[in-house]
A and B are shown apart, each in its own frame.
Chain A
Amino acid sequence: MTNPTNPATRLFSPKLYREALRQLRFPALLLGGIALILTLLIPIVTRIGSGPTAFATMAVSGLQLLSFSIALMYLLPLVLTWNLFRFGNARNASDYYHALPIKRSALFTTLVAAVITWIWVTCAVTLLAGSATYALLGATVPYSLLPGLVGFLFTAGLFATAGVALGMAITGTTFSNIVVSLLVLCLPRYVMACFSSMVASIVGNLPSAYVGLFNGRVTNTLFALPGAVMDSNMDRILSSGTNMLYTLVLAAIYLVVGCALFRHRRSESAQVSAPSRLLQHVYRIAITLPVLIALAMAIQSMLTPSSGDSSDIIITSIVFVVLSLIVFCAYELITTKSPRRLLRVLWTYVIVLALAGVFWGSASLTARNELRFTPAANDIAGVQVLDLSYRGSTADLLTSVIGYTDGLNSLDYNTLLLKELELDDPEILKLVAQHLLSETGKDPYMLENPTYDSDQSGLTTVLVRVRTNTGETKYRTLTIPQYISKLDPFIVALLQSPTAAEAMTALPDQGEVRTVTTDMYVMDAGTRTQTKEQLGRQLYDSFVQEYQTLSPEQQFRALYTQLGQSDESSPTVGSLNPVVLTVSGVRGLNSFECGYELGTYFPKTVQLYTRAQSEQLHDLLDEGSADAIGTIMGIMLWKTTDRLSTVNNEWRLEAATAVVEPASPSDPQEPGEPDGDEVAVSIQPTVSADVETPDEPVESDPQPTELFSAVWTDAYKTLTDFRGVDTDAGEPGKEYGITIQQYRQMLDVIKPALGRDLDLTLPYCLDLTGDVDIRSLFSDAGIPNTTITLTQAEGDALLRLVDGIAD
């Protein structure tokens, strides 16, 4: 017999838990099974498509490991929670559950526990099974990510379940279940995001992530995923402990509130949208409020100088008000089905208007307070530079919703060092004061999109924390121009500060570095002889050696390529698809992640990179990988355009020649070769320069990187021309273009000649970016010795094609 004095029975019922697990068995196993099968299929299909070597050197990402467990994380809380808690929507079921000899709090927590159990089990099984499949098939699985990913799934699933359970605890119909659950999950973040975004848009130089308590620096894991997918630091964001802790706290609050409301929920409210008239008002107002908050934001944005015509305010207002009235009335009519009742409650629309007004007023007051912060230089006690290249937008709504989380985007090493310093150099304080005075209250759009002068290549946003003599601390952004021929005075001032300069040009110690990766062209992988990590380490070692030979200013330019990289004295590798070494590690309690571009200062490292790239392509060629074949096809096409011959130095490559000659009767025929009219086509790149062996150091290299610049530029043009062109004639006016039709013709010629059933599809062509060492590729892959036998018709077609392109 249940003991009413036992606290355990007041909070949890093991037998009901078992029964609830049984009830959820079917939907959980069905959805979990589907997700599991799909998750297992992905690595298998990838393995088949990429070949064993490429797969073996592939570094599996966190998102790949999560796979369809993400779908479970979003779907199961809704399905399972609704499944168990829908008894509140029917009187007979409500009678049954409320007649059980169990405390209401125990009923709530037990059912939630059953939902959570299934979510956690199915998500964990899917995640681990997918990881195991990758591992069994030979891929490199980053096991260190797994705990973070499990935490991400668990917290997001718990939060979603808590939100839906809370929503269902205070509603009594399926429609109101869904609406109120979504409001519970989304409305607070929406309002907070709108508030911070609006304040930031008024202040101009205040990042929305730093608007008082309402900030986007931390977000719950349920909303972190979209942000993570859009960010290069996805794995880190997903496994952020701060986010998880925040989500756990939120989920706990929702569960406690949900439990309390469930305890006081009137059993007779089954089949009624809201258990009381008051709550019906609350729901109706809550669902209408977002529309009017959007209106407030729209009007505020129209009031800024950059918005142009402000006469649209009236039209916009009418549209939003009508929309909000539709939402307001629709909710009431759907839930009560009583037009008469709608007329009786129409007055509550005034409350919605008032709340929107309160929202706008609060945001305006907060902004006004922030606008006052323009201290003089002698009023500033110190400045901390938190980020030299702040990527968080100042007023972007999406950023606020999903949590751009500059606190989560791991800082680069130098910023990590720099932010530890509070700078009080007079010149720095003076410049900060000047920036604050001139940029506070400016339209963010105007700040981010100024009129460039000819010496400017762009802007950089620097995030600083300013502490005044009175102890007041504020976060602000400084808009720093990027000059072509010089550095901005603020950067100069930083470099003239010994402590700041040291912090800004240091490289991570080898002991602090955990991983070094780079983005290989064909795929994110290593080579046959080196894993991605080994390759990265080798490249980083070379990078460090070359870096140490540079002057302090060159070091700065090398690290901060976006801050004045393009002056004439320092030619760059090219801005289109620069090779980036990604170095991550831990310094103290903080982790960092840096991206080092392999620019003109690092020829040896670039050479190592391109050699590895070629080796990777070679590996793929040996397997007959579609990727590699597609790549080589593309390179052939570029070369027929003869663009590369314009690079006139010893690294120059000339166009590959396609020699077509009639098949000689005297030529030895291979068994199985086609008879009749045939031509032998030898596709042979000619390399005019001496080919250095990979182990030899690069000597007397005048401007080695120009080659790569030219290659990338040319490839970029070719790629640009490919895009969107799907006509036989090609796009008029494009000098280097080749039509998709021509590409297909090329494939039609080559594929039967190779005698392989290759999956050469268009995307492989479109993927081409060209950052490859063509010399190494052709020589290493043995292309010069490749002879492809074609029929006369095929040869003619190829010749026509090549001629057409060359023309």
Chain B
Amino acid sequence: MIQASDLTKRFGTAVALDSLTCQVPEGVIYGLVGSNGAGKSTFLRLAAGVYRPDGGTLTVDGAAIWENPAIKEQIAFVPDELYFLPQASLERMSYTYADNFPDFSRERYTELVQTFQLDPRANLNTFSKGMRRQAAIILALSRRPRYLLLDEVFDGLDPIVRTLVRRLIYRDVMDRGASAIISSHSLRELEDTCDQLALLHKGGIVFESDMGDLQTSLIKLQVAFGPECAADFTEEPFTTLGLDVVDFNRMGRVATLIVRGTATDATARLAALNPAPVLVEVLPLSLEEVFLYEMEAIGYRFGDVLESPQTPQAPQSQEVAS
């Protein structure tokens, strides 16, 4: 298990990770989402032993990762910016990996090269961005590592390869009990892939939860009214009931609300509406919605760049973390 406790990393005066605490259990796929500069890549580099923590601890089974070759042997890291030796082919890189990583399996490598249908003798410089990422994934998976750290791993991959990569990760996790930490801005990708998820912002975790049961304080309600209700109602009746409305959208006599609180409490309060709604339904929140509204709640707001009907209105003051 990877365990971070009060993990802190600074770059000069900037704090990239600020007392971050989380844990990645065995055999799970752990998703990292967050705003730009939230500290996702920094966390992965710390977990790969590239960076040295400025504070707190980051351990695998209780042993620090930094300057610990025995632990680092169990970790395969695919960074966002890939590195290959100058003028190297995939085959050449496989020998480099074989020399540097004792767990490298040539059998597995051969199998993966065939699966991805890459030319192992071609110069990697001639590969497209997606092909280079496939090459990096092949090399990492050939090691059969206990921990896979994948930074923006789906970036540049076409849908078919993305699915293939996902399946390969699933197989490693299910067959060998490996763990994977995946950072991505593709929320849908993580939603479909991860068992657990952590939302990072400004170096800290906003929330950490199982994907099957997103433990967020937000609920999504759909409320439909009969013809007796005016068609131009606003959110005012809902706020009057004491609901903490984060977002309100109306189409005809059907309103969709994002409310902070519990479903039981909200539905109980809606029962007091007059005219009474003909339908009150609690809808599942998508990961993207959780991300958007949780981030908005902590001051990370977007403008009109998202065209989703559920996108919040642009606030007067826009604050974007650098």
Contacts and interface: CB of A to CB of B under 8 A. Distances in A.
B50 A94 contact: yes
Contact of B81 (A4, A15, A92, A99): A92
A16 interface: yes
B100 A95 contact: no
* Residue among B79, B82, B99 with max Cβ neighbours from chain A (10 Å): B99
A1 B83 contact: no
A98 B69 CA distance: 11
B251 interface: no
Contacts of A268: 11, 51
Contact of A98 (B11, B12, B50, B101): B50
Given A16-B100, A95-B45, A268-B51, A101 B79 contact: no
A2 B73 contact: yes
B45 A23 contact: no
B41 to A, nearest CB: 10
Contact of B82 (A2, A22, A92, A94): A92
A266 B52 contact: yes
A92 B67 contact: no
B138 to A, nearest CB: 15
Interface string B213-236: 000000000000000000000000
A617 to B, nearest CB: 57
A368 interface: no
Contacts of B82: 92
B199 interface: no
B4 interface: no
Prevailing SS type, chain A contact patch: helix
B27 interface: no
A99 B50 contact: yes
Given A95-B83, A103-B69, A268-B11, A2 B102 contact: yes
Nearest to A102: B69
A347 interface: no
A179 B79 CA distance: 30
Contacts of A104: 67
Contacts of A2: 69-70, 73, 102
Contact of B83 (A23, A92, A103, A277): A92
Contacts of A92: 79, 81-83
B99 A99 contact: no
Contacts of B11: 268
A45 interface: no
A384 interface: no
B51 A267 contact: yes
Contact of A101 (B51, B73, B95): B73
A95 B79 CA distance: 8
A19 B100 contact: yes
Given A95-B79, A96-B83, A1 B70 contact: yes
Interface in A17-47: 18-19, 22-23
A1 B49 CA distance: 17
A457 to B, nearest CB: 66
A100 interface: yes
A268 B50 CA distance: 9
Nearest to A266: B52
Interface in A82-126: 90-96, 98-104
B301 to A, nearest CB: 29
Interface in B260-295: none
A23 B75 CA distance: 24
B311 interface: no
Nearest to A264: B52
B168 interface: no
Interface in B43-101: 45, 48-52, 67-70, 72-73, 75, 77, 79, 81-83, 85, 95-96, 99-101
Contacts of A18: 99
A95 B81 contact: yes
Nearest to A95: B79
Nearest to A267: B50
A19 B85 CA distance: 11
Contacts of A99: 48-50, 72, 75, 77
A94 B48 CA distance: 12
A9 interface: yes
Contacts of A369: none
Interface string B100-132: 111000000000000000000000000000000
Contact of B49 (A22, A94, A98, A266): A98
A19 B283 CA distance: 56
Interface residues of B, number: 27
Given A19-B96, A19-B99, A9 B48 contact: no
Contacts of A19: 95-96, 99-100
A3 B45 contact: no
A92 B99 CA distance: 19
Given A92-B79, A95-B81, A101-B101, A267 B72 contact: no
Interface in A56-100: 90-96, 98-100
B49 A93 contact: no
Contacts of B75: 99
A435 B48 CA distance: 72
A100 B45 CA distance: 12
A3 B70 contact: yes
A102 B73 CA distance: 9
A92 B11 CA distance: 17
Contact of A95 (B48, B72, B99): B48
B100 A103 contact: no
Nearest to A104: B67
Contacts of A277: 12
Contacts of B70: 1-4, 101
Nearest to A105: B67
Contact of A100 (B51, B68, B72, B85): B72
Contacts of B72: 99-102
Contacts of B83: 90, 92-93, 95-96
B237 to A, nearest CB: 53
B83 to A, nearest CB: 4
Contacts of A23: 85
Nearest to B87: A26
Contacts of B102: 1-2, 101
A93 B88 CA distance: 14
Contacts of A94: 50
B124 to A, nearest CB: 13
B28 to A, nearest CB: 22
Contacts of A95: 45, 48, 50, 77, 79, 81, 83
A461 B98 CA distance: 66
Interface in B121-164: none
Given A23-B85, A95-B45, A100 B77 contact: no
A86 to B, nearest CB: 10
Given A92-B79, A93-B83, A96-B83, A4 B100 contact: no
A637 to B, nearest CB: 61
Nearest to A100: B100
Contacts of A102: 69, 72, 100
A266 B50 CA distance: 9
Contacts of B52: 266-267
Contacts of A267: 45, 50-52
Contacts of B51: 266-268
A501 B100 CA distance: 71
Nearest to B45: A95
Contact of A91 (B48, B81, B85, B100): B81
Contacts of A93: 83
Contacts of B100: 15-16, 19, 100-102
Nearest to B96: A19
Interface of A: 1-4, 9, 15-16, 18-19, 22-23, 90-96, 98-104, 266-268, 277
11 contacts: A2-B73, A19-B95, A23-B85, A90-B83, A94-B50, A95-B45, A98-B49, A99-B49, A100-B100, A102-B69, A277-B12
Given A102-B100, A267-B51, 5 more contacts: A2-B102, A90-B83, A95-B48, A95-B77, A101-B100
